[in-house]
Amino acid sequence: MIEQKQQEIIEEFAFFEEWMHKYEHIIELGKEMKGLTDDEKKDELLVAGCQSKVWLKASLQATGTVKLEADSDAIITRGLVALVVGVFNEETPDDILKANIHFMNDIGLVSNLSQTRSNGLAAMVKQILLFATVFQAQQKSN
């Protein structure tokens, strides 16, 4: 499923020829994302390494999949969060940890974002992998 989600993103972004249009699309994705309530935006959910504030909440569902919810105080970052969460949400910890994450390079995100935004994107993925590692350990101990 993760690979399929990545391919859908790659195809979606292939439609846009100019980076300005890709940025606009990322912003739209951020506007469409549900996000978190103000009460849910707790300091312990902040992702370290992001220039903007990014809150990332994860829970292991009874189905064995990881539910991800997130938000950001910056609109472009919120769109990036929406992309990343969209790829990993409702996937198993095993699948998350085994995934070859390539969509960010394939659509040119890494090469067209500022260094600080690229670092923040990497920090988000790292945090999701950390959540998946913890949830995988919980599943094995049960």
pLDDT tens profile 79-104: 999 999 999 999 999 999 999 999 99
Lowest mean pLDDT among 23-32, 46-55, 127-136: 46-55
Provide the pLDDT for residue 50: 76
Which residues does 87 contact at the CB level (< 8 Å), separation at least 6?
2, 5, 6, 9, 101, 103
**Confidence band (pLDDT; 50, 70, 90) for 141?**
confident
Residue 142: pLDDT above 90? no
The separation between CA 141 and the C-alpha centre of its own chain, rounded to angstroms, equals 27
- Domain with 136 in it: what CATH number? 3.90.1010.10
How many other CB atoms sit within 10 Å of the CB of residue 116? 12
Lowest mean pLDDT among 22-31, 62-71, 117-126: 117-126
Is the torsion defined by CA of 67, 42, 99, 95 positive or negative?
negative
Residue 68 bridge partners (DSSP): 58
Whether 13 is catalytic: no
**Confidence band (pLDDT; 50, 70, 90) for 118?**
confident
pLDDT tens profile 48-79: 987 899 999 999 999 999 999 999 999 999 99
Number of domains in the chain: 1
Q: Which of 9, 26, 29, 50 is catalytic?
A: 50
Checking DSSP bridges between strand 54-60 and strand 66-72, what pairing results, if any?
antiparallel
Average pLDDT of the chain, as a whole number: 94
Q: Which residue range forms the structural domain that includes residue 110?
A: 2-141
Provide the pLDDT for residue 96: 98
Coil vs helix vs strand at 46: strand
